[in-house]
Amino acid sequence: MIRLALRHLGARKWQTGLTLGGILLGSAGFVVISGFMLGFRETLLDQLINNNAHVRITAREEFLTEHGLDRAFFPEDTHVAWISPPAGRKDSARIENPWGWMRRLEGDPEVASYSQQYRTSAILSRAKVTVNASLVGCDPERQVRLTNISESMTSGRFEDIGRGGNRLVVGDALLQKLGGRIGDTVLVTSGTQRPLPFRIVATYATGNRAVDEATAYTYITDAQKAAGHPNEINEIGVKLWNFEGARTYAGTLAGTSGDRVQSWDQLAESFLTIFKTQDMMRYLITVVILVVAAFGIYNILSMTVNQKRKEVAILRSMGYEGADVLRLFLTQGLFLGVVGGILGMGFGFVVCKYLATLPSPRTPIGGAATNLSISFDTAIYVTSALLALLSSSLASFFPAWNASKLNPIEIIRAGAE
Amino acid sequence: MGLVAKELRKSIGNPAVEILKGLSFAIEDGEFVALTGRSGSGKSTLLYLLSTLDPPTSGEVEIGGIATNRLDSRELHRFRNEKMGYVFQFHYLLPELSALENVLMPARKGGRENEMRGHALDLLREFGLHEKSDRLPRQLSGGEQQRVAIARALVMNPRYLFADEPTGSLDSVNGEKVMSIFQDVNRRLGTTVVMVTHDPEFASRAKRAIHLVDGRLATPT
């Protein structure tokens, strides 16, 4: 039956070619769209995972409530009415028990490394230029184990901030905004303290413009000093051996403390929502293309069945059963699906290879890659093949089923009339 | 044993119209029988019932001692494939296959294509088509196409050959050739031939004629 099925297809080269083209485009479309979107996603995830801590512990900001101070001022009274209720934020946000966290994280087998930080808003000024930035105080030895910042250095070494006091590592873009050079001194103030001079000793470029033009790193005690909060820690970054377990791990830590504990995917919730939308879009586009291709198969087979009614009748008279006829037409649909799918995957692969040679525009959070990041994940190709096979199976089943149910006598009678 | 029809009735349509009205007769093995009658007399319908292509509304067809209505679908298809050959007014060759491939189609169903290839070529040679075995049906004349269809019907060496107006679409020369083949097959191989025909000349070439009038036997059998 396979030979006959192939002959049927071969006899209608134009229709067969068009249908194959439809499946090819559908399949290739899925491969290219998925390769592009997943490649983009991998780049973003790489940036999110490797340029940041997997779990971030930060001080929870606490705000005064109307009755939050009742007990402190009126311990005996149960009903207190304020003429002017208390309001505002409680002191500066800081981690109350950093040593407790360190003991907890130090012995944890899930933790690859961690780093305590003091992060504050600061104003950097050089001559008449002032730039708002985030000043991150950290232990450089720990910080380079936490993120891949050392791989993003464009001049100097990140560890240089630990060699002597008041040293800064700034993003290339921030240095450009300041109009400075390596070795220049800038004044740094948190706004409440007098400005302190810091020397720029190194620069980095993560590719994430939002970071590169607004983040400066210094040694932790220097940042605390600049902010006027000696010995305070307001952030601990944690790197896990398995980043995929970050959300669960963060949940476990959050239950043991009043501090805020968030995983990288919770912090990047908006990006991950985009990924879901992307997934929906690429499946939707592919389904539309494959539905069109499936209609092509359905049409071509329905027409074939109609044209081959007499042949179906004669096959039945020769002892071919309904199942044989079903197989004859189903084979044609599946052949179109399989060959179209394979050609589509091949074509999609070639297009993806080409796209991977094109220069990449900056991504929202990272642009270090020089070429477009395209995913060649096997799952894309397997899914593409399955989608092509599924659509062709469904599209060919109904005409094939109808053919298998044809009554040979009616056809022969009709042919004789 | 032969071929036995017992009280065969066939109704079609809604409301039902009775085409065959209780036919009973027997055809011996090795007979050459012509089914004759005017248009609408039910001769083609009778042929389809005898050849198991169409089930009777009531009654029974027994072939070689086997009640065909008791065979399940698979057994019936195998029986048809191995024991019966069909020739229709139109050849109904598969246009994508060569003459030889068409002839071998019944053998292919039983997985005996290679085994029967020599026999198929012998049949084509016998019918003067050996040189054209690789040609597609559209490259053959009407008479040649019908001879290919007869070779296809005979390739499995069937015990029964059913033909529905096999000369109906042929000129007299090709019609004569077809009839000669049928007679030869019947005489030489002992194949039982049941043929529907309008043509009294061709009907007279059969050993016996069963004449139908309005769904009933017109002559005692």
Buried b (16+ CB within 10 A) or exposed e, B14-24: eeeeebbbebe
- Could you tell me which CATH number the domain at B3-217 has? 3.40.50.300
More confident call, B128 vs B135: B135
Does residue A81 belong to the interface with chain B, where contact is any CB pair within 8 Å? no
Query: What percent of chain B is predicted at pLDDT more than 70?
Result: 98
Residue B219 has pLDDT above 70, yes or no: no
The predicted pLDDT at position A346 comes to 94
Q: Which of B44, B45, B77 to mutate to test the interface with A (most CBs of A within 10 A)?
A: B77
Residue A167 has pLDDT above 90, yes or no: yes
Residue B221 has pLDDT above 60, yes or no: no
Query: What percent of chain A is predicted at pLDDT more than 70?
Result: 96
Residue A166, exposed/middle/buried by CB under 10 A (0-12, 13-18, 19+)? buried
Does residue A319 belong to the interface with chain B, where contact is any CB pair within 8 Å? yes
Which is nearest to B105 in space by CA: B75, B137, B58? B137
Does residue A272 belong to the interface with chain B, where contact is any CB pair within 8 Å? no
The predicted pLDDT at position A367 comes to 47
Q: Which of A318, A328, A407 to mutate to test the interface with B (most CBs of B within 10 A)?
A: A318
Cβ distance of A316 and B96 shorter than 8 Å? no
The predicted pLDDT at position A109 comes to 92
Quickly state the pLDDT bin for B92 (edges 50, 70, 90).
confident
> Can you give the pTM of this predicted structure?
0.67
The pair of three-digit structure tokens given for residue B49, joined into one six-digit string: 């019932």
* Separation between Cα atoms, residue B145 and residue B98, nearest integer Å: 11
When pLDDT is averaged across residues B208-216 and rounded to a whole number, the result is 89
Q: What is the DSSP letter of A89?
A: B
Name the residue facing B77 among A11, A319, A416 (closest C-beta): A319
Name the residue facing B53 among A11, A408, A416 (closest C-beta): A408
Which residue in A has a C-alpha nearest to residue B152's C-alpha? A318
Contacts of residue A87, defined as CB under 8 A and 6 or more positions apart, other chains included, come to A63, A64, A66
Quickly state the pLDDT bin for A362 (edges 50, 70, 90).
low
Does residue B71 belong to the interface with chain A, where contact is any CB pair within 8 Å? no
Q: How many CA atoms lie within 13 A of B20 on its CB side?
A: 30
Q: What is the DSSP letter of B100?
A: H
Query: What are the φ and ψ backbone dihedral angles of A191, each rounded to 5 degrees?
Result: 105, -30
The predicted pLDDT at position B139 comes to 92
Which residue in B has a C-alpha nearest to residue A7's C-alpha? B96
> What is the four-CA torsion angle of A224, A227, A233, A236, rounded to 10 degrees?
-100
Grouping H, G, I as helix, E, B as strand and the rest as coil, residue A144 is: helix
Cβ distance of A413 and B92 shorter than 8 Å? no
The predicted pLDDT at position A106 comes to 87
Query: What are the φ and ψ backbone dihedral angles of B134, each rounded to 5 degrees?
Result: -95, 0
- Residues in A closer than 8 angstroms to B97, CB to CB, are 4, 7
Cβ distance of B110 and A320 shorter than 8 Å? no
Which residue in A has a C-alpha nearest to residue B84's C-alpha? A318
Does residue B80 belong to the interface with chain A, where contact is any CB pair within 8 Å? yes
Does residue B73 belong to the interface with chain A, where contact is any CB pair within 8 Å? yes
Cβ distance of A318 and B74 shorter than 8 Å? no
Grouping H, G, I as helix, E, B as strand and the rest as coil, residue A133 is: strand
Cβ distance of B96 and A416 shorter than 8 Å? no
Does residue B165 belong to the interface with chain A, where contact is any CB pair within 8 Å? yes
Inter-axis angle of helices A2-11 and A322-355, nearest 10: 60
Does residue A15 belong to the interface with chain B, where contact is any CB pair within 8 Å? no
Cβ distance of A318 and B106 shorter than 8 Å? yes
How far apart are the CA of B25 and the nearest CA of chain A, in angstroms?
Answer: 23
The predicted pLDDT at position A216 comes to 93
Quickly state the pLDDT bin for A416 (edges 50, 70, 90).
low
For CA atoms A132, A133, A134, A137, the dihedral sign is negative
| Residue pLDDT, tens place only, A220-274 | 999 999 888 888 898 999 999 888 888 888 888 888 877 889 988 888 787 778 8
Average pLDDT, chain A: 85
Q: Which of A198-202, A231-235, B112-116 has the highest mean pLDDT?
A: A198-202
How far apart are the CA of B101 and the nearest CA of chain A, in angstroms?
Answer: 10
When pLDDT is averaged across residues A61-71 and rounded to a whole number, the result is 79
Grouping H, G, I as helix, E, B as strand and the rest as coil, residue A207 is: coil
Buried b (16+ CB within 10 A) or exposed e, A336-371: bbebbbbbbbebbbebbeebbeeebeebebbbbbee
Contacts of residue B71, defined as CB under 8 A and 6 or more positions apart, other chains included, come to B79
Q: How many A/B residue pairs have CB atoms within 8 Å?
A: 69
* Separation between Cα atoms, residue B127 and residue B141, nearest integer Å: 13
Q: What is the DSSP letter of B191?
A: -
- Residues in B closer than 8 angstroms to A313, CB to CB, are 92
Cβ distance of A415 and B77 shorter than 8 Å? no
The pair of three-digit structure tokens given for residue B197, joined into one six-digit string: 């025909």
Residue A200 has pLDDT above 50, yes or no: yes
Cβ atoms of B49 and B10 closer than 8 Å:
yes
Residue A38 has pLDDT above 50, yes or no: yes
Q: E-assigned strands of chain B?
A: 3-12, 17-27, 32-37, 58-63, 66-67, 84-87, 160-164, 192-196, 208-213, 216-217
Cβ atoms of A4 and A358 closer than 8 Å:
no
- Residues in B closer than 8 angstroms to A415, CB to CB, are 88-90, 92
Grouping H, G, I as helix, E, B as strand and the rest as coil, residue A132 is: strand
Residue B136 has pLDDT above 60, yes or no: yes
Task: Please report, for chain B, the start and end positions of each structural domain, with discontinuous segments joined by +.
Answer: 3-217
- Residues in B closer than 8 angstroms to A311, CB to CB, are 92, 94-95
Query: What percent of chain B is predicted at pLDDT more than 90?
Result: 21
Residue B132 has pLDDT above 60, yes or no: yes
When pLDDT is averaged across residues B160-189 and rounded to a whole number, the result is 84
| Residue pLDDT, tens place only, A273-307 | 888 888 888 788 878 877 887 887 888 888 888 88
Does residue A397 belong to the interface with chain B, where contact is any CB pair within 8 Å? no
ipTM confidence: 0.83
Does residue B81 belong to the interface with chain A, where contact is any CB pair within 8 Å? yes
Residue A369 has pLDDT above 50, yes or no: no
- Residues in A closer than 8 angstroms to B81, CB to CB, are 318-320
Does residue A327 belong to the interface with chain B, where contact is any CB pair within 8 Å? no
The pair of three-digit structure tokens given for residue A349, joined into one six-digit string: 């692969």
The predicted pLDDT at position A135 comes to 93
When pLDDT is averaged across residues B206-212 and rounded to a whole number, the result is 89
Cβ distance of A412 and B96 shorter than 8 Å? no
